[in-house]
Structure 1
């Protein structure tokens, strides 16, 4: 039977991490990479694993690469601290480990709990993530703030869900969007991306239509409408911040200029 390493990156996740770890007690190894938690995250993790490491935050893909390098077994399952593995997914993975997988990596459907309900549409389900793969075959190769695994080999699909408890409330959602759009804008600028008024005018409404109509967000009730609106706002913020970075808005310099007049 092949063995499994689970990797999780953390930062102040005391409200989530216990549920994540409880869903993984069957794994051969759990590796935690923390970037400086000041809450009870580390003490909770110590109840489940001794393999806890510190690494200053370098970006999500680089941090997950760091965690992967610490894995000692044949397969890796990566989950985030606000996720948990369903019993059905655990059974599927254990079956593959016992019988040998026909693939080198597997996409896993991720189901999100948001505003009091499980989201079934809105482009949020099935939100397939390639999170289970042969250690020697996979590598993290996404564009921050979004993580992505590339696998050198055949890829299959699993049926069991990863459960994602992504936002505690709308305030938490907005705060996260603000952080992620700043990271995305900086990454776009670094890669030489240039967008202006047209992107700000066209991309947000198209995103709303995609989420609410094409992805049937209307079937998720009012939370589906909120998801569609917030997704459009996310896109607007991302490109507005990119424009701001490219045009070097010097707030402090402007203040000093008025003081000299």
Structure 2
């Protein structure tokens, strides 16, 4: 059973629909934040939880009327859930600073809130369209990249995962029309550095949960992933940017399992040897003087 905090009901916005809080977590996001905030002018509140920016992110958010709070980094899932709990309203839309709500998606969100009720979904997903090497990917791994970001916090919450966090809801999830645009400005070097951090966190989380990697996963997982996204989901139609995006995803899969094997071997190397675990032999009564 999903456990969510007990929160008081919040007032409706004008027009009778539930009020909406847009929630973001940020760190040095000033270069990307403005288009994101401009795209959510339909929200009743914007909450920005910053973990120590030094580039003017907080001041930029305040220009848009956002309520800006500081919270030291807790991990992706915990940080996002903390931000959700700071919102004034129960319906929340969670975004990243490098994402933008399209007019079509904004219209779908308003319609979903207008129809909110006991019989309606408590959470909604929508397609995210990722920009990579200057091109919006429309196939493969880059699209539709379903993202569950709009939900009633009394019925759903973020998981506590340090990476690959997800929203967990206690009733069926609805689907909205319209795209969320992801305009990452990362260079390939920055993107690879980010993926290296993510694969480390994913490997550590899987290992801590008791999962163990096998050799067939190290070589088989990247191959299966390539066939799925490049061939079956037609990633080839996104040209060279699509190929590079999928190739990096395949390498990420390889790297995660390789890191899990490394963790397993490091743990085994630190374990006491069988000889060290065997109690020291004692002299038999017959051998004593």
TM-score calculated relative to the size of structure 1: 0.90
What displacement does 1:166 show? 2.8
Question: What CA RMSD, in Å, does the superposition of the two structures yield over aligned residues?
Answer: 1.8
Measured in 1, the distance between the counterparts of 2:173 and 2:155 equals: 11
2:212 maps to 194
Instruction: Judge conservation of contact 1:122–1:227 (CA < 8 Å) in 2.
Output: no
TM-score, normalising length: structure 2: 0.82
Instruction: Indicate the residue corresponding to 1:64 in structure 2.
Output: 80
> d(CA) in 2 for partners of 1:136 and 1:59?
22
Structure 2, gaps ≥5 residues long: 1-15, 268-289
Q: Counterparts of 1:30-45 in structure 2 under 5 Å?
A: 30-45=46-61
Tell me, in whole angstroms, the C-alpha distance in 1 between the residues paired with 2:181 and 2:145.
Answer: 11
Counterpart of 1:126 (choices 139, 144, 147) is: 144
Q: Secondary structure at the match of 1:9?
A: strand
Deviates more, 1:166-175 or 1:102-111: 166-175
Tell me which structure has the larger Cα radius of gyration: 2
2:31 to 15, 28, 44: 15
How many residues are aligned here?
250
The CA deviation at 1:99 is 4.2
| SS at 1:17 equivalent | helix
Q: 1:184 to 1:151 in 2, by over 3 A?
A: same
What is the 5 A alignment of 1:118-197?
118-141=136-159, 143-197=161-215
Q: Deviations over 1:16-68 (max 9, x none)?
A: 11111111122111111111112121111111134111111111111111011
Matched residue, 2:92: 76
Of 197, 220, 225 in structure 2, the residue corresponding to residue 207 of structure 1 is: 225
Q: Is the contact between residue 132 and residue 245 of structure 2 (CA under 8 Å) also seen in structure 1?
A: no
Structure 1 residue runs of 5 or longer lacking an equivalent are 250-261
How far did residue 243 of structure 1 move? Answer: 1.6
- Offset at residue 142 of structure 1 (A): 6.1
Greater shift, 164-173 or 55-64, is seen at 164-173
**In 2: Cα distance, 1:178 partner to 1:167 partner:** 17
